[in-house]
């Protein structure tokens, strides 16, 4: 199947690559949208076809109810991926997207559809729990805005507009609730290889917490540490995508 049935709702294909040997599903961070991965789709095409997930409650799906728990979100994404069975699939997720990707990978493997690789970025391993970490989804609007703006990511300036802020904050808060209240089942792991990317000064993830992803796969594990904070990937996109391309090429033999 060509997967077009899912394009109008859950996935965006910014740079169609019908002859690509592999697809890469990219999963956004809390408050993020599919458009965050537009540069990735352009950079990897035509050797890799990128699907960018569009969660409900944002951009063209802003009228749809939010999904405020990771298991339900992962269930829906896995269901939508049933239309994409004609070629190997890899997963890439940043922050909340990494958590979601890990859950989707487990579901796919339970169906006998092992991803060729899971790329996790900007997120500590499920087994590393911070008991004292603040739950930002319970913070006031002003505190939540300050937390978001503390991370240098394109588009944060939109929160300076009161009308835009009022429109965006419920979605952001719902995403924070989903990821902050999520607890993986004890001993959760995948069989597919896992590659972890992290920033050396990310306040949300220490290098040790990122390396702990090794304990959540029975396959090969690879990790790379870059300079920067939580959105280090914006400054190191080229290097990260070189690794992604090389890993996929080695795994599927292209």
The whole-chain average pLDDT of the chain stands at 89
Res. 137 pLDDT band, cuts 50 70 90:
confident
Which residue is listed with tokens 């599927």?
252
Structural tokens at position 113: 């559809």
- Over 70: is that where the pLDDT of 173 sits? yes
* Closest of 231, 234, 249 to residue 96, by C-alpha: 231
The CATH number of 4-129+185-252, from 3.40.250.10, 3.40.50.1820, 3.40.190.10, 3.40.630.10, is 3.40.50.1820
- Helix ranges (DSSP H) in the chain: 4-7, 38-44, 70-80, 96-110, 141-149, 162-180, 207-211, 232-235, 237-252
5-61 confidence digits (pLDDT tens): 344 489 999 999 999 999 999 999 998 899 999 999 999 999 999 999 999 998 889
pLDDT at 253: 67
195-219 confidence digits (pLDDT tens): 999 999 999 999 999 999 999 999 9
* Closest of 134, 97, 132 to residue 118, by C-alpha: 97
- Over 50: is that where the pLDDT of 225 sits? yes
- Over 80: is that where the pLDDT of 82 sits? yes
Residues designated catalytic: 95
pLDDT at 59: 87
Domain boundaries, the chain: 4-129+185-252
**H helices, E strands: number in the chain:** 9, 7
* Closest of 43, 27, 28 to residue 236, by C-alpha: 43
- Over 60: is that where the pLDDT of 1 sits? no
């Amino acid at each position: 199947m060509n997967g077009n049935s899912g394009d109008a709702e859950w996935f965006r294909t910014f740079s169609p690559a019908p002859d690509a040997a592999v697809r890469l599903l990219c999963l956004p961070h809390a408050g993020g949208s599919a458009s965050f991965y537009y540069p990735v789709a352009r950079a990897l095409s035509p050797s890799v076809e990128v699907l960018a997930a569009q969660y409900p409650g944002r951009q063209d799906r802003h009228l749809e109810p939010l999904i405020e728990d990771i298991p339900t979100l992962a269930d829906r994404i896995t269901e939508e991926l049933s239309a994409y069975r004609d070629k190997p699939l890899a997963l890439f997720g940043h922050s909340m997207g990494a958590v979601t990707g890990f859950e989707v990978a487990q579901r796919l493997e339970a169906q006998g559809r092992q991803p060729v690789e899971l790329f996790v970025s900007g997120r500590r391993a499920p087994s590393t729990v911070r008991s004292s970490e603040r739950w930002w989804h319970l913070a006031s609007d002003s505190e939540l805005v300050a937390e978001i703006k503390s991370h240098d990511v394109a588009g944060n300036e939109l929160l300076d507009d009161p009308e835009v802020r009022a429109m965006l904050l419920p979605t952001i808060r719902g995403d924070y609730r989903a990821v902050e209240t999520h607890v993986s089942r004890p001993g959760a792991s995948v069989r597919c290889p896992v590659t972890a990317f992290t920033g050396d000064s990310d306040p949300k993830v220490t290098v040790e917490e990122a390396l702990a992803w090794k304990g959540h796969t029975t396959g090969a594990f690879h990790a790379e540490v870059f300079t920067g904070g939580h959105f280090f990937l914006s400054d190191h996109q080229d290097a990260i995508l070189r690794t992604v391309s090389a890993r996929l090429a080695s795994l599927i033999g292209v």
